[in-house]
Amino acid sequence: MVPEHGSRGGEGAARLPSHGMPPGTCDRAAGANRAIRDLEPNDIRQLLSLQEEAYIPELLESPESFRSKMAAYPPGAQGLFQAGTLCAYVFYFPWRSGGYLPLDARSLVLPGVPDCLYIHDLAVSRGCRGLGMAKALLAKVAVTAQQMGIREYMLVAVQQSEEFWENLGFERGREFEYVEGVPATVMFKHGPSFTHASETSDPS
């Protein structure tokens, strides 16, 4: 997913969507019409644009990587749209704790008996941050976990996002380099929802 994998200049080159708002802009009005739906291969261009805006070049994933995740577990690829423009997305899937998914994996094999949900990627367009879109997507993840009877989550935090995750109930695990020179922290959470500890007590 680094440039040589084709995420820049090809499908990844920033383009205006055929309808809706330019990438990076957002109607911040409280009543703005927002919708969450499964991501599809047709959304790849917008996905790559948003990804380039949200991540440092070392962390960019290829179109093939996005496609393989969509194919392996369609409900785990969710986009939040406003007037047809992708404002935020999340990729997650059932997982067996212990290992993590390498960056830009081109194939995803789901475990027969998962014990957690793995949140691989969560990104909000810069112009749309602070509006609760990340939390809206995580609420969707929590519904899946509940339907599957799963109460554990794990992820790899990058770009100094550890505090964001801690505020949602995650605890820090081991620190490592996700790719060379890029620090990351494995994080875990027990419990059904992503509610800030100060908002309510988690009954789990």
Q: Which residues are at the interface with ligand COA (CB under 6 A)?
A: 54-55, 122-124, 129-135, 157-159, 161, 163-164, 167, 196
- The side-by-side arrangement of strands in the sheet containing 171-179 is 34-38, 77-82, 85-95, 116-124, 152-157, 182-190, 171-179
In the complex, what is the shortest distance from the CB of residue 132 to ligand COA, in angstroms, rounded to a whole number? 4
Cα dist. 113→79, 119, 121, 124, 144 in Å? 26, 17, 22, 31, 15
Taking the least distance from each CB to ligand COA, the nearer of 19 and 79 is 79
In the complex, what is the shortest distance from the CB of residue 112 to ligand COA, in angstroms, rounded to a whole number? 27
In the complex, what is the shortest distance from the CB of residue 9 to ligand COA, in angstroms, rounded to a whole number? 22
CB nearest ligand COA: which residue?
134
Taking the least distance from each CB to ligand COA, the nearer of 18 and 33 is 33
The rounded distance, in Å, linking the Cα atoms of 143 and 24 is 28
Taking the least distance from each CB to ligand COA, the nearer of 19 and 194 is 194
In the complex, what is the shortest distance from the CB of residue 182 to ligand COA, in angstroms, rounded to a whole number? 11
The CA-based angle 84-25-139, given to 5 degrees, is 65
Taking the least distance from each CB to ligand COA, the nearer of 116 and 133 is 133
Continuous segment of H or E residues that includes residue 167 = helix 162-167
Taking the least distance from each CB to ligand COA, the nearer of 26 and 108 is 26
The rounded distance, in Å, linking the Cα atoms of 179 and 55 is 13
Residue in 130, 120, 29, 12 with CA at minimum distance from that of residue 82: 29
- What end-to-end distance do the CA atoms of the chain give, in Å? 38
In the complex, what is the shortest distance from the CB of residue 7 to ligand COA, in angstroms, rounded to a whole number? 16
